[in-house]
Chain A
């Protein structure tokens, strides 16, 4: 019993639990299929507002979480990243492996996150990534663990996170963004992280404090 899970007990637990469930569901007709229980999806699935409006809404809603948001023309992105790093007083950054070189200022010492050790990430105070999608309605960034988003630890361990959101990845509603990453999830089991503002807690007298364990600053650069 002391070494490893008890496989035989596990197997019988499975049968016993399934048996109890089936016994408890005797009122459900044997012919009923799950799809017979009707689910009406009459809530909003899409958002028909023009892109410019959605991008503006996204910027406003991310800002509500006290993230630092700027809308920048694509050709000025490098400069905007440099300004964000300078404002934070940082000169080194870990970068998601798929981030294009033209996003990165030369003055910034960047290290591609090619499986960096956690301690190394902890010493670097800044992470730079892109994202897979964004949601205007909720001000949410969707990371999918791909080359642009980086692996999960990259955007978690450093103190500050600069995230570039290409304007054409901004969706209006949650269902659209979830559908956009669904193939990655079913295909390669992509780990998905939804980020809505910096790390925060309200555990002490409901007073909001930012920067608990995740990045204390979230800089969102919307590239247009």
Chain B
């Protein structure tokens, strides 16, 4: 997904949407406090976090070996493994598998990875309809909208909007449908049950895949995940290559970390773990597509690599003061919030998401809640460096880049006492028209962007050094 607008522009639109801000404030505060309580219940949370981070590092530093082990295990268990370099290749593999089984409709479990590669659109181009079965994803799909939160994608819509949508789009919705969530859920249940029972082809993502046993794992709440991974004859799972974990027992760490960080539950209602195909139980055919799509590039950056530890819990979204105010759409990526600000630019290249590493106050709350200890502020600063370093240096644009000129000037000024004091004097004389009550509220030129959200202290009438010289000198 390429961003339509840079973050600061998109954020402005979001900030003036009062319904959105109301919903966001409610959801982030509510999940934040519940998560804190769920985590406080465990005396060994920090040990679990450390183990989670270490296990992910072990995998990432030996990713090629673990992927080969996973491939062998899945194959031994009766599954078929495919490799996809990018979104296009992955979508083609899934479409060809569906076509080979004569399926023109597939049921899908909510999966960020398949959103990242726009699988639904890819399948549509092959005449195959993908049906989202997670309630929020169904709402998003029916309204041709985009998810705004990793965990609760339709949180920017209220119950009345959802009622109107279901009434307009689903034959199962009665004309006098109320906006009671229970009634709305019943409509979605009736609609999807029909589809589940006739579904022949299911598509899922994966939260984890165990290299040792070939077991694939999906966590969910509604039961749509169980439906999609159990009832169809053929199941295709699309997983990013970083989702592999070494051994079965390592699930003891991640199944403790993820639900408490994500939905703030001790355990989510349903966790499905399947190993290839089983006789008389579940799909007769299982395909696993291992997707790169930029992940190997992230791996190559020694500082940025830790972003691949992410288990997509969304805890960092809920504690982020920026996300809480702008919501997910402003990030222009399927990965919003702090993790999105470091993952999106790395996955699709800094060129596409230059503004995202700046969409943060670097307060560090995201690092504190991250169940796999991703130092998001560290990666943000690192990416800012990369953004600056990758700006055009040569030619007229490079030479005249205002930020570069300003920084070069500042470097010169700070390098010599005389230049510094001369600049102070000049500032004192020149700031007159911009100062009120001792602060610059709206700076001139490029400084205007900085002062649009902050006050710049004015240069004092007398500097400390001047005062020292006049009183002690």
Closest 10 CB pairs of A and B: A214-B223, A24-B300, A213-B223, A20-B296, A189-B275, A212-B222, A37-B58, A151-B281, A194-B271, A196-B267
Question: Is A190 within 8 A of B241, CB to CB?
Answer: no
Question: Is A152 within 8 A of B282, CB to CB?
Answer: yes
Counting chain A CB atoms within 10 Å of each CB, which of B26, B135, B296 scores highest? B296
Docked complex: A16-62 residues within 8 A CB-CB of B:
16-18, 20-25, 27-28, 32-35, 37-45, 61
Which one of B47-55, B167-175, B417-425, B446-454 contacts A? B47-55
Decide yes or no whether B192 CB sits under 8 A from chain A: yes
Q: Which residue of chain A is the closest to B86 with respect to CB atoms? A: A13
Q: CA–CA, A62 to B78, complex, Å? A: 35
25 CB contacts below 8 A, A to B, read A3-B100, A5-B97, A17-B83, A18-B68, A24-B299, A25-B62, A41-B51, A43-B47, A44-B43, A64-B266, A138-B266, A139-B266, A188-B278, A189-B214, A190-B275, A193-B226, A195-B270, A196-B270, A201-B136, A212-B135, A212-B222, A212-B223, A213-B192, A213-B222, A214-B227
Decide yes or no whether B213 CB sits under 8 A from chain A: yes
Interface size on A, residues (CB 8 A): 84
Decide yes or no whether A119 CB sits under 8 A from chain B: yes
- As a 0/1 sequence over residues 173 to 187 of chain B, the CB contacts with chain A under 8 angstroms (1 = contact) are 000000001101100
Which one of B247-255, B391-399, B432-440 contacts A? B247-255
Q: Which residue of chain B is the closest to A14 with respect to CB atoms? A: B83
Q: CA–CA, A48 to B277, complex, Å? A: 37
- As a 0/1 sequence over residues 136 to 156 of chain A, the CB contacts with chain B under 8 angstroms (1 = contact) are 011110000100000111001
Question: Is B64 within 8 A of A21, CB to CB?
Answer: yes
Which one of A79-87, A98-106, A172-180 contacts B? A172-180
Question: Is A156 within 8 A of B271, CB to CB?
Answer: no
Question: Is B135 within 8 A of A203, CB to CB?
Answer: yes
Question: Is B268 within 8 A of A196, CB to CB?
Answer: yes
Query: Which of the residues A21, A190, A206 comes within 8 Å of B296, measured between beta carbons?
Result: A21
Q: Which residue of chain B is the closest to A144 with respect to CB atoms? A: B273
A179 / chain B contacts, CB cutoff of 8 Å: 249
- Given known A5-B82, A21-B241, A156-B230, contact A189–B276 (CB-CB < 8 A): yes
Q: Which residue of chain B is the closest to A194 with respect to CB atoms? A: B271
Q: CA–CA, A179 to B222, complex, Å? A: 26
Residues of A participating in the B interface, judged by any CB pair closer than 8 Å: 2-6, 9-10, 13-14, 16-18, 20-25, 27-28, 32-35, 37-45, 61, 64-65, 115, 118-119, 122, 135, 137-140, 145, 151-153, 156-157, 174-175, 178-179, 182, 185-186, 188-207, 209, 211-215
Q: CA–CA, A199 to B292, complex, Å? A: 33
- Given known A17-B83, A192-B273, A194-B270, contact A175–B27 (CB-CB < 8 A): no
- Given known A13-B83, A156-B223, contact A191–B282 (CB-CB < 8 A): yes
Question: Is A198 within 8 A of B269, CB to CB?
Answer: yes
B54 / chain A contacts, CB cutoff of 8 Å: 37-40
Q: Which residue of chain B is the closest to A186 with respect to CB atoms? A: B213
A196 / chain B contacts, CB cutoff of 8 Å: 265-270
Decide yes or no whether B466 CB sits under 8 A from chain A: no
Decide yes or no whether B315 CB sits under 8 A from chain A: no
A145 / chain B contacts, CB cutoff of 8 Å: 278, 281
Decide yes or no whether B96 CB sits under 8 A from chain A: yes
Counting chain B CB atoms within 10 Å of each CB, which of A6, A21, A119 scores highest? A21
Question: Is A9 within 8 A of B89, CB to CB?
Answer: yes
Decide yes or no whether B143 CB sits under 8 A from chain A: no
Decide yes or no whether B11 CB sits under 8 A from chain A: no
B63 / chain A contacts, CB cutoff of 8 Å: 21, 25
Counting chain A CB atoms within 10 Å of each CB, which of B85, B184, B226, B241 scores highest? B226
Q: Which residue of chain B is the closest to A18 with respect to CB atoms? A: B64
Give min CB distance, A204 to chain B, whole Å: 4
Question: Is B227 within 8 A of A24, CB to CB?
Answer: no
Which one of B1-9, B154-162, B351-359, B380-388 contacts A? B154-162
A43 / chain B contacts, CB cutoff of 8 Å: 44, 47-48, 51, 253, 256
Counting chain B CB atoms within 10 Å of each CB, which of A25, A200, A201 scores highest? A201
Q: CA–CA, A172 to B196, complex, Å? A: 36
Question: Is A200 within 8 A of B222, CB to CB?
Answer: yes
B48 / chain A contacts, CB cutoff of 8 Å: 43
Query: Which of the residues A17, A137, A204 comes within 8 Å of B184, measured between beta carbons?
Result: A204
